[in-house]
Amino acid sequence: MSTDFDHIVIGAGISGLGSAHFAARRGRRTLVLESSDRVGGCINSQTFPELGGFWTEAGGHTCFNSYGNLLSILDDLGLTRHVQPKGKVGYLLWKGGQRASILSALHLWEAMRSIPKIFSAPKEGRSVSAYYGDVLGRRNYRDLLRHAFQAVICQPADDYPAEALFRRKPRRKDVIKAFTFSTGLSAIPATIAAQQGLEVRTGQQISVIERDGDGFRVTTGGETLSCGSLTLAVPPDVATALMPAGFDAARAAITDIGVAEIETLVLAFRTSDLGLKPIAGLIAVDEAFYSAVSRDFLADPSYRGFAFHFRPGALGEQAQIERACLALGTTPRHIAAQARVRNRLPALRTGHTARVRRLDETLAGTRLAVTGNWFLGVSIEDALTRSRSESDRLFAV
């Protein structure tokens, strides 16, 4: 069977671009097809040309020196030497229309009594509320941790699987602990997509994917392409819809994995118009937004930026602006620029590890890989860890 490409990847988020990078490094001719007009997915450094290129992260906002798979890609592309350290600024709570310190919601004695359990309490198979309520105390979970975790995953956290929230990873001591880039994290997907050995096409709508012997045929709006191996790097509902005939068991394994919608409002202000001290962001308690993440970690002399992650449908557009300005202690007339972004994140639930295990059993021995930020967790490194393992399965010699 002749093929147009050795490998086709559907989806140009960090999971798909990571899969493409790992394949290209093995000499596989790889094509990435993306439905939107940009690469990066949930990595989105929202840039404002009218403000001289000032940017604010509208999605993922931090990388760490424990991100081994990401760092291997940065090494390959010569990006590691360009990392920028993130300034040390802290989060505040937004509760009852006021900003407050994180410690104001902490029940210290309860935490001290409970925390020894962290060394013995089982984590796998338990929900976030069950595990962290156990190891840090029920009141601490109710008053602080529930809201902090919701701020991280931008969705209700109680039933989220505890093992998918945080995982220990070894750190590289030659790299800054927490870092970004001078133009934002979008430098990462842009550089991956631009490298030789990869072709990336945006604005591509997939009509159907069919098996073609051991390989696949991918039909878009304008052409049909063939490949020896295929990677689906898309949300679980999209993966279910695109799964070719003959993979019914794989489809069944993931068909009930949900997706959370997030409405993100990005606001930029002149530094002189905000009296708020530099912060990492706001953790909202019982609010219309889950969190607000600041650009203050990489200070700009002229502007400050914030991304407010709102619950879908909680407020109209103007009400979102007014609520965000209230939380920042300013008014809408001081907004220098704004943008809106819709993000989708996996809504994982307890028992998710078993679902992934069933999926992997059905994919074993095939040329189809499935990756995304919905396997090990939502972080950049979690996504790339899955992408590397699937690439190893497809192409290891």
Between CA 209 and CA 249 the distance in angstroms is 16
Residue 248 DSSP SS3: helix
Provide, rounded to the nearest whole percent, the portion of the chain with pLDDT above 90.
Answer: 84
DSSP class of 4: S
- Looking at the domain assignment, is residue 231 inside a domain? yes
307-363 per-position pLDDT tens digit: 999 999 999 999 999 999 999 999 999 999 999 999 999 999 988 999 999 999 999
- Looking at the domain assignment, is residue 148 inside a domain? no
In degrees and rounded to multiples of 5, residue 371 shows phi and psi of -140, 175
- pLDDT > 60? residue 218: yes
How many structural domains does the chain have? 1
Between CA 138 and CA 277 the distance in angstroms is 32
Residue 180: partners with Cβ closer than 8 Å, 6 or more residues away: 61, 62, 63, 83, 84, 86, 297, 298
Q: Please, what is the average pLDDT of the chain?
A: 94
- Looking at the domain assignment, is residue 337 inside a domain? no
- Looking at the domain assignment, is residue 237 inside a domain? yes
Q: What is the CATH number of the domain that holds 34?
A: 3.50.50.60
Whole-structure pTM value: 0.93
What is the chain's Cα-based Rg?
A: 22
Strand 303-310 with 258-270, pairing: antiparallel
- Looking at the domain assignment, is residue 166 inside a domain? no
29-45 per-position pLDDT tens digit: 999 999 999 999 999 99
| pLDDT at position 1 | 43
Q: What angle do CA 45, 51, 55 make, to 5 degrees?
A: 15
Between CA 114 and CA 133 the distance in angstroms is 9
| Integer CA distances (angstroms), 223 to 2, 12, 40, 207, in order | 16, 19, 24, 10
- Looking at the domain assignment, is residue 79 inside a domain? no
- pLDDT > 70? residue 3: no
Q: Which amino acid belongs to residue 258?
A: G
Tokens 């959370």, residue located: 260
- Looking at the domain assignment, is residue 387 inside a domain? yes
Owning domain of residue 28? 5-42+186-257+348-395
- Looking at the domain assignment, is residue 82 inside a domain? no
Q: Which amino acid belongs to residue 226?
A: S
DSSP class of 202: -
